[in-house]
């Protein structure tokens, strides 16, 4: 089973700043089949990014994904108040699908 390790566990930033979240896989992610989800308190996760770098429908362009192989990054430029949430990476290149443990983005 592929293990995804996200860092940092918690990221404290202010609105307007840039956030950089990391996801490292225990082995190469086939075809960069990696997604990012945002989860706000009391809500279900929401798909942000798929295929490592493609934004899902309706996702603002301040969200961007990059990376390949075993190292992936979610970048949020100019944080908005509604961006403070927990972010998960997930791989769908090999079975079983697995998720990272999450990065909590909190207001500084």
* Site residues (vs another protein, CB under 8 A): 1, 31, 33, 35, 37, 43-47, 50-51, 54, 56, 88, 90, 92, 95-102
Shortest Å, Cβ 35 to another protein: 5
Query: 97 forms bridges with which residues in the sheet?
Result: none
Closest CB to another protein among residues 23, 79: 23
Residue 89 phi/psi, 5-degree rounding, is: -100, 155
Contacts of 9 (CB under 8 A, 6+ apart): 101, 102, 103, 104
Shortest Å, Cβ 78 to another protein: 25
Question: For residues 27 and 4, is the Cβ–Cβ distance under 8 A?
Answer: no
Closest CB to another protein among residues 1, 61: 1
Shortest Å, Cβ 17 to another protein: 26
CA gap 105, 8 in Å, rounded: 9
Closest CB to another protein among residues 40, 78: 40
């Amino acid at each position: 089973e592929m293990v995804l390790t996200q860092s940092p566990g918690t990221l404290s930033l202010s609105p307007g700043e840039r956030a950089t979240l990391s996801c490292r896989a225990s082995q190469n992610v086939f075809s960069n089949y990696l997604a990012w989800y945002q989860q706000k308190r009391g809500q279900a996760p929401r798909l942000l990014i798929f295929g490592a770098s493609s934004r899902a429908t309706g996702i603002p362009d301040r969200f961007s994904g990059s990376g390949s192989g075993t190292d992936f990054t979610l970048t949020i430029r100019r944080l908005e108040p509604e961006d403070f949430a927990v972010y998960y990476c997930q791989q769908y290149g090999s079975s079983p699908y697995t998720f990272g443990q999450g990065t909590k983005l909190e207001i500084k």
